[in-house]
Amino acid sequence: MEGTADLHIHSTHSDGSSTVEELLHRAQKAGLTAISITDHDTTNALEEARALADGTGIEVISGVELSTTLGNAEVHILGYFFDHRSPGLQSYLAHCRTARLRRAERMVEKLNGLNIPLRIESVLEQAGTGSIGRPHIAHALVEEGLTENYYEAFSRYIGNGKPAYESKDQVSSAEAVDLLAEAGGLSFVAHPGTMIDEGLLKELIQAGVDGVEVIHPSHSPDLVKYYRGIVHEYFLLESGGSDYHGLKKGGADMFGKFRISQECIDMMRRRLQ
Ligand code: AMP
Ligand code: ZN
Ligand code: FE
Ligand code: FE
């Protein structure tokens, strides 16, 4: 592990299962020098994270993960270094969170139509005050004894194209990139290895993304090399992190296991000047 920064972490403000306090505690134990909490469609973790990091030597960089579309593909865009008080950004995020709630209601209706008696209250309980996503529906299904486990919820009902699936609002990747730039931030193509081919990546570069998430648990060493090559070729920035969502789903503990170097962060800062 070369680096000391993890710029892709989720908290209970979206579909992560660790609180901001737990995340900061772990970041300190892991010896991280910089983190970013990149919740889906919310920056509500930021102020608490900065207050907790005060005096620890950990830099908390503003972050968010936005779901966008380019053609028929779903593209996740990571934003960093923006001013989280930007009214344009916050009204967009509030709109997305409301749309997520409506979508969860539609998915519950579809499940009910399939004779799965899930109640929306049980999903809301999983989400707490956080931005609602399919993981909350999956956990609610397990909690209510309506599916065997978390992964079965996706493979039978709510995975892409499954009978209770509903898509999110369509926002173009270019719009998200512009919004982040207007808020003074940088935008990155998240985990391209999971869903993006080379043609799509080139289109995103043309749309003005500032960088690519090179380091991600889904990227093999060969893919890391490949994306690093693209970053150099197009004068882009490199980001990366663990995409940690907590321990609730089972599986390996990824916290702080995927890191980038401080040099990558310095380069981001220079790009903003
Ligand atoms: P949403 O943003 O509400 O569409 O939820 C997307 C999240 O659901 C992803 O970040 C994954 O954590 C999870 N997810 C999506 N598809 C699957 C799947 N087939 N198996 C397990 N988790 C999934
Ligand atoms: Zn997530
Ligand atoms: Fe993502
Ligand atoms: Fe993520």
pLDDT at 1: 56
Write the single-letter amino acid at 112. N
> What CATH code is carried by the domain that includes residue 20?
3.20.20.140
The verdict on residue 122 lying in a domain is no
Q: Compute the half-sphere exposure of residue 216: CA atoms within 13 Å on the CB side of its CA.
A: 22
Residues within 6 Å of ligand 1 by CB: 40, 67, 133-135, 151, 154, 159
Q: How far is the CA of 117 from the centre of ligand 2 (A)?
A: 25
What is the DSSP-derived secondary structure letter of residue 162? S
Q: What is the pTM of this model?
A: 0.95
57 assigned to some structural domain: yes
53 in Cβ contact with 170 (< 8 Å): no
User: How far apart are the CA of 65 and the centre of ligand 2, in A?
Assistant: 8
Torsion sign (Cα): 185, 272, 256, 53: negative
Residue 33 forms part of a structural domain: yes
Q: Which atom of ligand 1 is nearest to the CA of 40?
A: 2
**Protein residue with its CA nearest to atom 2 in ligand 1:** 133
Nearest to 108 by CA among 162, 167, 159, 158: 158
**Whole-number pLDDT of residue 251:** 77
Residue 173 lies in a domain: no
| 129 within some domain | no
| 81 vs 72: CA distance, rounded Å | 29
> How confident is the model at residue 40, as a pLDDT?
97
Positions in the chain short of pLDDT 50 = none
Find the ligand nearest to 16 CA: 2
* Domain count within the chain: 1
Distance CA 74, CA 161 (A): 13
**Do the beta carbons of residue 17 and residue 8 sit within 8 Å?**
no
Question: Domain range for residue 49?
Answer: 4-84+184-272
Name residues whose C-beta falls within 8 Å of residue 246's C-beta, 6 or more positions apart in sequence: 10, 16, 17, 18
- The ligand with the least distance to the CA atom of 64 is 4
Which residue's CA is the closest to the ligand 1 atom numbered 10? 135
So what's the pLDDT on residue 249? Answer: 79
Q: Quick check: is 178 in a domain? A: no
Is 228 contained in some domain? yes
